[in-house]
Amino acid sequence: MSMREAFHIPEEDLIQYVLGTLKDTQMSQFTAHISLCNACRGQLANFQVELASFAAVQPFTELPAGARDRFMTRLTSDQASETGFAQMRDKSRASGGLRSIQQWVESPVLFRIVSGALAAALLYVGSDDLSHIHQLRQMQPELARFEGQAGELADLQDFLRGSNTQQVSLHDRPEINKTSEGHVIYSSSSGKLVFTASNLPSAPLGKAYELWILPASGAAPVPAGVFKPDLQGNAAVIFPQIPVNVNAGAFGVTVEDEAGATKPTLPIILSGQ
């Protein structure tokens, strides 16, 4: 039995998860686990429907007079501008994400939930952006590799908790794609790197994406992993084989042959420093 399968969230906690009444730290922990655990996701789905059904059988109240007209008037005049909800959500994500994930990284649960370690990486770099739930699933092959390798897991845990890492967001150039993005956590002293990306278009046939470290010294770019996005455009590179003590001035992603390249081919799809 894998470690992932050995732990499931208790029913009462899943119920509170659906109700949103858990503490932020627990929400983050459970989100990470649920994203990777089909059994808990199934239970969660049941509770969601049961709670909605419970709500739906309470006596209905008729709408106030004119409510439909008011709604349709607002619908007609509605602009594509940001909604109050969107603003609330953005504000919430911006302010709460890093804090809650930091708390999670400090939690002892990290030692027990292998999946959590990888989830922490994504949630941390994604500033609690829940779209990264999809990325978590994309990382499952990497997770499987780590499950049997406690030493590497400990390394990953230390790495994510380390204070001497660079964290860089990579953004696309406007003419290529508005929404593709990547995030890097990198430590030159240990030569360790975690990279996640989202909204990448599929690589051309026979091609793949390649991540590069562009040394601050101006030396030749260092290849840091070849990857292909999944159907949702998400991808991850975890602890690629790279030399230590390469001080990064920037990071870039290019399209290369599937086998990888020794030097990058323009154009640079994503870049950040």
Partner 1 sequence: MEDAELLEAVARQDQSAMAELFDKYSRLVYSIALRVLHEPDLAEDVMQEVLLQVWRQPGGFVSQRGSVGAWLAVVARNRSIDVIRRRAHMTPMEEMVLPEPRNLQRAVEDSYLMDQVRVAVGALSGEQQSPLHMAYFEGLTHTEISERTSTPLGTVKTRIRTALATVRNALEA
Residue 216 sits at the vertex; the CA angle it makes with 211 and 217, to the nearest 5 degrees, is 120
Among 5, 6, 91, 263, binds partner 1 (CB under 8 A): 91
Least gap, CB of 106 to partner 1 (angstroms): 20
Options 76-84, 143-151, 168-176, 240-248: segment touching partner 1 (CB under 8 A): 76-84
CA 236 to chain centre: 9
What is the pattern of x (binds partner 1, CB under 8 A) and - over residues 2-21?
Answer: ---------xx--xxxxxxx
Record the tokens describing residue 242, joined without a space: 């790279």
Least gap, CB of 136 to partner 1 (angstroms): 11
Record the tokens describing residue 255, joined without a space: 């399209």
Among 78, 151, 164, 231, binds partner 1 (CB under 8 A): 78
Of 147, 119, 117, which Cα lies nearest the Cα of 133? 119
Do residues 113 and 32 lie in contact, with contact meaning Cβ atoms separated by under 8 Å? Answer: yes
How many residues of this chain bind partner 1 (CB under 8 A)?
Answer: 60
Among 1, 60, 241, 243, binds partner 1 (CB under 8 A): 60
Amino acid at 41: R
Residues 19-38 that bind partner 1 (CB under 8 A): 19-22, 27, 31, 34, 38
Do residues 197 and 181 lie in contact, with contact meaning Cβ atoms separated by under 8 Å? Answer: yes
Quote the radius of gyration of the chain (alpha carbons, Å): 22
CA 148 to chain centre: 23
Among 2, 5, 6, 89, binds partner 1 (CB under 8 A): 89
Residue 253 bridge partners (DSSP): 211, 270
- The helix/strand/coil state of 4 is helix
The answer to whether residue 164 forms part of the interface with partner 1 (CB under 8 A) is no
Least gap, CB of 102 to partner 1 (angstroms): 17
* Residues in the chain, total: 273
Please say which residue, 38 or 202, places its beta carbon nearer to partner 1.
Answer: 38
The answer to whether residue 239 forms part of the interface with partner 1 (CB under 8 A) is no
Do residues 165 and 251 lie in contact, with contact meaning Cβ atoms separated by under 8 Å? Answer: no
53-78 b/e (C-beta count within 10 Å ≥ 16 → b)? eeeeeeeeeeeeeeeeeeeeeeeeee
Residue 257 bridge partners (DSSP): 207
The answer to whether residue 69 forms part of the interface with partner 1 (CB under 8 A) is no
Among 2, 5, 6, 70, binds partner 1 (CB under 8 A): 70
The answer to whether residue 188 forms part of the interface with partner 1 (CB under 8 A) is no
Residues 102-141 that bind partner 1 (CB under 8 A): 130-131, 133-134
Q: Which spans of this chain sit near partner 1 (rule: CB under 8 A)?
A: 11-12, 15-22, 27, 31, 34, 38, 41-42, 44-64, 67-68, 70-72, 74-76, 78, 80, 83-86, 88-89, 91-93, 130-131, 133-134
